[in-house]
């Protein structure tokens, strides 16, 4: 069973959102082609879903500015602008994303005390989201990962997939993803490749 994981393709991470990833919206038509013509049996999407007082927000740390380093759940934490607050337009999926074809939505980041870059578990690895269990139940053997942002939620999701789904072949779809920082994107791709994650293009998948 082949599965596609679409990471955080939400208004908040697209131009006009509260934490825009440069050119983030450009992946939406690519994601839709993968959904429709990629030959996947299972399509899942993650959704960053924060309470308004989430601890990853700079606004919750007196004197802190967005993009400064702070601390959360005992770990260094980038302090973000408020983003993807539950029940706001910023947290909704991009309106052009073909959500009808999505079988399962995994929300994450709802615990104000810890961030959750990965779609699989919180950053302190204490709590699982349930996505690994869902994919196991679907008997998934191959998982392709793409979305926003390459250097944060996509990277952590792909690496956690590798750890938590040991017999599943994991690939990262480079052109169906965008990152925040070019240097961070480069090192994220190197880290994924070094762990054995395949780096592929949507074209390779669509031509298969």
Active site residues: 8, 108, 153
Measure the CA–CA gap between 39 and 52, rounded to whole angstroms: 38
Measure the CA–CA gap between 142 and 199, rounded to whole angstroms: 14
Q: Judged by CB under 5 A, does residue 48 bind Zn ion?
A: yes
CA distances from 57 to 26, 64, 190 (A): 26, 9, 28
Judged by beta carbon, residue 1 or residue 113, the one nearer Zn ion is 113
In whole angstroms, how close is the CB of 8 to Zn ion at the nearest point? Answer: 8
* Number of residues forming the site for Zn ion (CB under 5 A): 2
**Which of these, 153, 160, 152, 50, lies nearest to 111 by C-alpha position?**
50
Q: Judged by CB under 5 A, does residue 82 bind Zn ion?
A: no
Helix, strand, coil proportions of the chain in percent (round to 5)?
30, 25, 40
Judged by beta carbon, residue 38 or residue 109, the one nearer Zn ion is 109
Stretch that binds Zn ion, among 25-33, 107-115, 131-139, 176-184 (CB under 5 A): 107-115
Stretch that binds Zn ion, among 108-116, 131-139, 165-173, 199-207 (CB under 5 A): 108-116
Which residues in this chain contact Zn ion in the complex, by CB under 5 A?
A: 48, 109
């Amino acid at each position: 069973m082949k599965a596609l994981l679409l990471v955080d393709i939400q208004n908040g991470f697209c131009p006009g959102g509260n934490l825009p990833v440069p050119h983030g919206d450009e992946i939406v038509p690519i994601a839709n082609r993968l959904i429709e013509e990629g030959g996947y049996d299972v399509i899942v999407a993650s959704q960053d879903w924060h309470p308004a007082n989430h601890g990853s927000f700079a606004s919750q740390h007196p004197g802190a500015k967005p993009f400064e380093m702070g601390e959360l759940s005992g770990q260094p934490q980038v302090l973000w602008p408020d983003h993807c607050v539950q029940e706001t337009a910023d947290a909704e999926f991009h309106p052009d994303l073909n959500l009808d074809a999505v079988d399962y939505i995994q929300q994450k980041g709802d615990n104000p005390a810890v961030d959750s870059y990965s779609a699989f578990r919180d950053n302190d690895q204490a709590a699982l989201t349930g996505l690994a269990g869902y994919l196991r139940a679907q008997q998934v053997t191959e998982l392709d990962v793409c979305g926003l942002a390459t250097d944060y939620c996509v990277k952590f999701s792909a690496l956690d997939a590798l750890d938590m789904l040991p017999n599943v072949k994991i690939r990262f779809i480079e052109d169906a993803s965008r990152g925040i920082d070019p240097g961070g994107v480069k090192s994220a791709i190197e880290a994924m490749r070094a762990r054995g994650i395949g780096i592929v293009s949507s074209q390779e998948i669509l031509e298969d």
